[in-house]
């Protein structure tokens, strides 16, 4: 049995240190590199070509986790990416899976769960924390209310307090398109104003 090589990506040194300590107890898993930003993560993937990338989604300014996942998957489909984050936001789950994540773990996961996820990932198995899985399950029952990846992305930026114009500039689309997306988002969230959408998104979706 060969050793599984892992790249850790998290902007908090404490979390990287903790993961490293936990994974270090497993003889068949080895942390070969760490990164604290999306940019660093891409470089580390090139340099170390790890089997599994364990990544937080929230990573301060610059490239966010979703974008990093997408780029990693674009360049090299060998790496399996595991999301390891604090919040089980509906929108983030959808976007992460869409970007090519193999699993989605919450930070309060038990060590065994994490080990199992890493081992499963290299075999192409997808592993979810129970709360995450239940959210996905619930969404399958109401497929009409599931945000598309683009809508989720827009909603995420919406919670930053941006105007339609700013949203358009940020996403390289026209203001008209922004308004179309927003109308769909409002309908799916069951709200009528952007203010209510933001409130709903932050509270219900766990966005922040």
Partner DNA sequence: GGCGGTATCAGCCAAAAGGCTGAGAGACCA
Partner DNA sequence: TGGTCTCTCAGCCTTTTGGCTGATACCGCC
Q: What angle do CA 188, 192, 196 make, to 5 degrees?
A: 90
43 touching its own copies, by CB under 8 A: no
Of 63, 147, 47, the residue nearest 97 (C-alpha)? 147
Of 47, 51, 141, 38, the residue nearest 99 (C-alpha)? 38
Q: How many secondary structure helices (H) and strands (E) does the chain include? A: 10, 6
**For residue 155, what are its two tokens?**
């909603």
Select from its own copies, DNA, none the partner in contact with residue 179, using the beta carbon and a kind-dependent cut-off of 5 to 8 Å.
Answer: DNA
Which range in 3-11, 30-38, 55-63, 179-187 contacts DNA by CB under 7 A? Answer: 179-187
Select from DNA, its own copies, none the partner in contact with residue 124, using the beta carbon and a kind-dependent cut-off of 5 to 8 Å.
Answer: none
* Sign of torsion over alpha carbons 186, 191, 193, 197: negative
Smaller CB separation from its own copies, 74 or 160: 160
**Please, what is the minimum distance in Å from the beta carbon of residue 77 to its own copies?**
28
Select from DNA, its own copies, none the partner in contact with residue 183, using the beta carbon and a kind-dependent cut-off of 5 to 8 Å.
Answer: DNA
1 touching its own copies, by CB under 8 A: no
Applying CB under 7 A, the residues found at the interface with DNA are 148-151, 163-165, 168, 171, 173-174, 176-177, 179-183, 186, 192-195, 197
């Amino acid at each position: 049995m060969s050793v599984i090589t892992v790249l850790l990506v998290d902007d908090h040194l404490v979390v990287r240190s903790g993961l490293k300590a936990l994974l270090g107890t497993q003889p068949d898993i080895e942390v070969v590199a760490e990164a604290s930003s999306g940019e660093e993560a891409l470089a580390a993937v090139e340099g170390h070509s790890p089997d599994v990338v364990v990544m937080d989604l929230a990573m301060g300014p610059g490239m966010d986790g979703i974008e990093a996942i997408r780029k990693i998957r674009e360049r090299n489909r060998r790496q399996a990416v595991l999301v390891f984050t604090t919040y089980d936001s509906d929108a983030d789950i959808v976007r992460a899976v869409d970007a090519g994540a193999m699993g989605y773990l919450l930070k309060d996961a038990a060590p065994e769960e994490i080990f199992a996820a890493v081992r499963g990932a290299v075999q192409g198995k997808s592993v979810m924390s129970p709360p995450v899985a239940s959210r996905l399950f619930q969404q399958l029952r109401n497929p009409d209310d599931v945000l598309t990846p683009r809508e989720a992305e827009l909603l995420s930026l919406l919670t930053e307090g941006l105007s339609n114009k700013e949203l358009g500039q940020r996403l390289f689309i026209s203001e008209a398109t922004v308004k179309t997306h927003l109308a769909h988002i409002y309908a799916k969230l069951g709200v009528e104003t952007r203010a209510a959408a933001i409130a709903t998104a932050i509270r219900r979706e766990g966005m922040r």
